Amino acid sequence: MRNKILSYLAVGLVSFLAGWYPQHSERSQAESELNATSKKLQDAGRSLELAHFRNRAGMLWEQVERADYGAAGEVASKLFTELRTFANSLPAGELRQRLEGSLGNRDAITAALAKADPASKGLVRDLFRNFPEN
In a domain, 66, yes or no: yes
pLDDT at 88: 92
pLDDT of residue 69: 92
Q: Is residue 134 part of a domain?
A: no
Has residue 44 been placed in a domain? yes
In a domain, 55, yes or no: yes
Q: Dump pLDDT digits (tens) for 21-65.
A: 888 888 888 889 989 999 999 989 989 999 999 999 999 999 999
* pLDDT band per the 50, 70, 90 thresholds, residue 17: confident
Confidence of residue 73 (pLDDT cuts 50, 70, 90): very high
Inter-residue contact 128 to 54 (CB < 8 Å): yes
Average per-residue pLDDT for the chain: 89
pLDDT band at 16 (very low <50, low <70, confident <90, very high): confident
What confidence category does residue 18 fall into, taking pLDDT thresholds of 50, 70 and 90?
A: confident
Number of compact structural domains in the chain:
1
DSSP-assigned states of every residue in 43-104: HHHHHHHHHHHHHHHHHHHHHHHTT-HHHHHHHHHHHHHHHHHHHHHSPSSHHHHHHHHHHT
Q: What is the pLDDT of residue 122?
A: 93
Is residue 105 one of the residues assigned to a domain? yes
pLDDT of 6 reads: 79
Averaged pLDDT, 4-18? 79
Residue ranges making up the domain that contains 31: 2-129
8 pLDDT above the threshold of 90: no
